[in-house]
């Protein structure tokens, strides 16, 4: 089904070091699709300069909350975007990423291509390898041959048709794993899912993440 509006949902918690690059990359990707794109940043309990940075991007919708909960932040971002959408949910696409990421220019193109036949898109996420120590960089490379990321769900590179999202009740208020849970419920309902390793999203290689047992924990576990 043709998509007529894209909402990009970005939760952020004290991401002043990465947020500007993230938003610049998202806005660049938005120029490579032929439909309107609404970018929503939810600043969740930020005490750094994230709010000032986000408001420096014209057209970006900025929402401030104090949840301390990434699931609620993602949910609020979607709600704010849908409130600004005149399109039917069947023709509205929700693209999720994180504030410590850099998306490629083809990011939204790839998701909308998948949306022609699928209601869910699960994309690849890779760390900034140059920022990892030598042992972890080698361990990540060895453990991630082509195809290794398929089947892994990351909120940093995820897309869902709004009607499918609404149909399963949206993102739940989980402090971790809200992305995996959402896709599991969509699969259980029989929604078609497209997976791709093309055009991966580049994410922070930090070892101390915002969510417990999130991607940072995965990187820490590469070397015991």
pLDDT tens digits for 189-220?
A: 999 999 999 999 998 765 465 666 556 555 55
pLDDT tens digits for 58-75?
A: 999 999 999 999 999 999
Q: How confident is the model at residue 132 (pLDDT cuts 50, 70, 90)?
A: low
Is 32:105 a contact under the CB 8 Å cutoff?
Answer: yes
What does the pLDDT read at residue 102?
Answer: 97
* β-strand pairing of 158-161 with 92-96: antiparallel
Residue 69 pairs with which residues in a beta bridge?
none
The rounded mean pLDDT for the chain is 90
What does the pLDDT read at residue 142?
Answer: 74
Report the alpha-carbon distance of residue 143 to residue 160 in Å, rounded: 28
pLDDT tens digits for 47-57?
A: 999 999 999 99
Report the alpha-carbon distance of residue 103 to residue 97 in Å, rounded: 8
| Global confidence as pTM | 0.90
Question: Cα 144 to the chain's mean position, in Å?
Answer: 20
Report the alpha-carbon distance of residue 82 to residue 187 in Å, rounded: 23
Domain extent, residue 145, equals: 5-220
Domain containing 109 — which CATH number? Answer: 3.90.550.10
Report the alpha-carbon distance of residue 210 to residue 224 in Å, rounded: 21
What does the pLDDT read at residue 220?
Answer: 54
pLDDT tens digits for 7-43?
A: 999 999 999 999 999 999 999 999 999 999 999 999 9
- Split into its structural domains, the chain has a count of 1
């Amino acid at each position: 089904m043709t998509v007529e509006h894209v909402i990009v949902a970005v939760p952020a918690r004290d991401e002043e070091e990465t947020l500007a690059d993230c938003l610049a990359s998202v806005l660049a990707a938005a120029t490579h699709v032929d439909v309107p794109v609404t970018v929503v940043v939810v600043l969740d309990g930020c005490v750094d300069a994230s709010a000032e940075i986000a408001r420096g991007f014209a057209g970006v919708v900025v929402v401030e909350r104090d949840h301390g909960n990434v699931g609620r932040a993602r949910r609020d971002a979607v709600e704010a975007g849908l409130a600004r959408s005149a399109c039917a949910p069947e023709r509205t696409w929700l693209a999720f990423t994180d504030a410590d990421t850099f998306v490629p220019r083809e990011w939204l193109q790839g998701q909308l291509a998948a949306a022609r036949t699928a209601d869910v898109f699960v994309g690849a996420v890779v760390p900034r390898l140059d920022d990892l120590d030598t042992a972890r960089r080698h361990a990540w490379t060895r453990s991630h041959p082509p195809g290794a990321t398929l089947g892994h769900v990351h909120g940093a590179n995820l897309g869902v048709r709004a009607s499918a999202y609404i149909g399963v009740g949206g993102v739940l208020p989980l402090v971790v794993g809200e992305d995996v849970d959402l896709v599991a419920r969509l699969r259980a309902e029989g929604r078609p899912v497209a997976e791709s390793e093309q055009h991966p999203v580049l994410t922070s290689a930090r070892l101390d993440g915002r969510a417990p047992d999130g991607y940072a924990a995965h990187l820490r576990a590469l070397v015991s």
